[in-house]
Amino acid sequence: MILHRRWKTLDGKRLSWLRAKYHFRVHADGNPEHGALGPLLVWNDDEVAVGAGFAMHGHRDVEIVTYVRQGVLGHRDTLGSEGTLHAGDVQVMSAGSGIQHEEFNRGEVPLLIYQIWLQPRESGGAPAWATRSFPARHQHGQFTVLASGFADDSMALPLRAEARVLCATLQAGQQIRHPLGLARQAYLVVVTGAIEVDGEAMDALDGGVILGVDSTVIEAREDAEIIMVEVA
């Protein structure tokens, strides 16, 4: 079963420097059908203008995964961490008992990012930040685990949540059968291209909740990149 969240149905915001679309309801007056999925609270698709960004601000008790789709992201936080992320890079910030950070477009083109917020297993704890490049994502026809709260995923960035973030690229006509298990659920977004998920056609930037299946079958109608978050 897939609950299709088409791009045009997503809530959003437009400012002079920011274009945002919300796969999950951010405000109380947002789309009531786009509620959280287990610990998956937020999935924002942000476009940030050159030279602009999010000034220093704080978070606590949330796991924030950022995936850079285009451009260059600059990060700085109160832990003393600083980083520059390029397209395909991923960062995980565990806010824990509290952290402040700022993020800006450091490139020469609009910055495109996904920001995914997850509820941690436990409140508090020391805040942390980490980033990594994942060249393996270019291997067609299989998922790469980018970040995970499960010990088996030792090559992924660590999460303090019951969740796993995966990425895959597919060539047109290529298919992935991915096991979920009846106790699991997932949210998938089409980064580029067009796909079918269990027979449901999805276009670029669309999202969908996957529920109640042992495994899901994803087939590329054209060359595509996808991101998926599995939650327990």
Write out pLDDT tens, residues 178-212: 999 767 899 999 999 999 999 999 999 999 999 99
Edge-to-edge strand list for the sheet holding 163-170 = 2-5, 207-210, 185-192, 224-231, 163-170, 144-148, 157-158
Are residues 198 and 216 in contact, defined by beta-carbon separation less than 8 angstroms?
yes
Residue 136: per-residue pLDDT: 54
User: Mean of the pLDDT values across residues 116-141?
Assistant: 88
| SS3 assignment, position 132 | strand
What does the DSSP 8-state code read for residue 211? Answer: -
Distance between CA 225 and CA 215 in Å, rounded? Answer: 19
Closest CA relative to residue 203, chosen from 191, 215, 211: 191
Could you give the domains of the chain? 2-231 (2.60.120.10)
Sole residue written with tokens 């960035």: 157
Are residues 216 and 210 in contact, defined by beta-carbon separation less than 8 angstroms?
yes
Strand pairing category for 40-48 and 18-22: antiparallel
Q: pLDDT tens digit string along 156-187? A: 999 999 999 999 999 999 999 999 976 789 99
| SS3 assignment, position 166 | strand
Strand pairing category for 207-210 and 144-148: unpaired
pLDDT above 90 (res 154): no
Are residues 105 and 52 in contact, defined by beta-carbon separation less than 8 angstroms?
yes
Confidence band, pLDDT 50/70/90 cuts, at residue 232: confident
Range of weakest confidence among 80-94, 100-114, 121-135, 175-189: 175-189
* HSE (side-chain half, CA atoms, 13 Å) at 142: 5
Q: pLDDT tens digit string along 20-55? A: 999 999 998 999 999 999 999 999 999 999 999 999
| Known binding-site positions | 57, 59, 101, 103
Closest CA relative to residue 112, chosen from 47, 64, 51: 47
| Known binding-site positions for Fe cation | 57, 59, 101, 103
Closest CA relative to residue 194, chosen from 216, 215, 171: 171
